[in-house]
Structure 1
């Protein structure tokens, strides 16, 4: 079901498979791409899991169809997730964060470990130290890159939604191992660009983002997944996570870029199912 819920002064639009789904344990997904992400991709991708689990996907503040209001800080995004958890009466749950949503999943795990059974990460990072690697990969690619535009994108200096759309269109071919220009065009047309949210995230949050020294505090089980050929959160970022998290499993998808959940969907879903089966084996229905 679709709904809207008010938390911390904004209305968040969400999808919820319902408290009767699966065995009752909730999985809450956190989309990436601040200012261009939405609930739709995760909701579609992880539908098969509703045979065993309750699934909730929502548009974060300033994203998709949800209301926008500053601040777009990590602390605020974490507070919004906690308020959503309370209002939907989820109890303990599993958080699944992709890309920038993985940053927020890690931040939530540090702030509210008592509320989590487990964390699932997809193509994310614990720090900003691989941004130069990403830029180098983009400039070394076969695709034409405007270095000045790339720098503005990475530093949160987009001038409008149209500017943001054009910038993303430039880097879009980098995200997958096998290109499908028609699918790229369809995806680009559907993205709800909101440049103010992006600018805040990349000019204020990203420069200070570094959780490496605190990873040892996250004791809940963590599944780290990453595409071997990811350019934007490269393999080294997931290896950094694996080196710092005390209770983790790292799975590398050999034929994927930034989105193994779409590039190798059957294997990705089975990997998630196997991890959850191990971690939730002693959890009964609420």
Structure 2
């Protein structure tokens, strides 16, 4: 489904009812799910998060410039505008006080919503994400993980990718040699192939926003302003959005809870899916 809001057209898909038949049709909360990238779409998070629909209606959204949503010129790719998009989408759909879950880059948008619209959500889930991108990847961890001269080469490529200046050849090496290291265990080559073979991927927004974020994105000074409960989810071996950022969010947000997945990197939803679903469902229920 597509909806025109805030000068764009956003694609969204809904999983689960908003009512619980087994509980005399009690209203369930709505969870807005925001994907990473930027430039991917919501589909890589499915079916992994779908079971959470037992306790919350899930609304997966393709952010502006991504997936099935409308493309724009670069000046319209800004976190503030993306936050405005989600708020406008919810208002148009009459969704009140949603939970907002953001994975990776989607967490940047979720944090921006929480700081820009402090009374809008009933809670936020910050999932393998970071409150700042001025430090970017943990390049030391990446280099050590790979080792040798190749480790040094991939470190440089990752640095160029995270700052938005990588060449097409370097981006291809990032895809083939670095992206598999997003997993700590249970690497799923077919899932990676699906992500990059997806004809809807938009590398234009990816390169542009990574370069912009590396200079501008830092919400650490505003974490204490977040009023709503926050669930911070972090893979122990995630060098993409490192543990330091998760710990900063858990300390800085007044009502935050940190859950660490001890056997995961950046792809927790594929590495430890059962624990993830359990943690999410229990936290959503605790908000009632």
Normalising by structure 2, we get a TM-score of 0.88
Q: 1:62 to 1:272 in 2, by over 3 A?
A: same
Change (3 A) 1:180 1:76: same
Q: Which residue of structure 1 aligns with residue 225 of structure 2?
A: 217
Q: Which residue of 2 is the match for residue 33 of structure 1?
A: 37
1:170 is aligned to 177
Deviations 1:126-178 (A, max 9, x none): 112442x5222222222744454333311112555x86444322311211112
Structure 2: segments with no counterpart, 5+ residues: 21-26
Residue 80 of structure 2 is aligned to residue 75 of structure 1: yes
Partner in structure 2 of residue 7 of structure 1: 5
Number of residue-to-residue matches in the alignment = 275
Paired residue for 1:135, among 118, 139, 147?
A: 139
Residue in 2 aligned with 1:57?
Answer: 60
Is 1:123 aligned with 2:125?
Answer: no
User: For the Cα contact (< 8 Å) 2:82–2:109, is it kept in 1?
Assistant: yes
Match of 1:252 among 230, 236, 260: 260
CA distance in 1, matches of 2:99, 2:206: 26
Structure 1: gaps of 5 or more residues: 281-286
1:284 matched residue in structure 2: none
Query: By how many angstroms is 1:42 displaced?
Result: 2.8
Contact 2:2 2:10 in 1 (8 A): yes
8 A Cα contact 2:52 2:280, kept in partner: no
Is 1:16 equivalent to 2:19 in the alignment? Answer: no
Contact 1:176–1:263, Cα closer than 8 Å, also in 2: yes
TM-score where L is the length of structure 1: 0.88
Cα 1:199–1:185 shift into 2, 3 Å: closer
User: CA separation in 2, counterparts of 1:259 and 1:114?
Assistant: 30
SS at match of 1:115: coil
> Distance between the aligned counterparts of 1:141 and 1:112, measured in 2?
39
Question: Any idea what SS the aligned residue of 2:59 has?
Answer: strand
Aligned-pair CA distance for 1:233: 0.8
Equivalent-residue separation in structure 1 for 2:83 and 2:247 (angstroms): 24
Q: Deviations over 1:23-70 (max 9, x none)?
A: 3311001111102x2111234222112222211001111111211113
The CA deviation at 1:187 is 4.2
My pick for the range that moved more, 166-175 or 212-221, is: 166-175
User: In structure 2, what is the Cα distance between the partners aligned to 1:165 and 1:74?
Assistant: 26
Contact kept in structure 2, 1:225 and 1:238, CA below 8 Å: yes
Secondary structure in structure 1 of the residue aligned to 2:178: helix
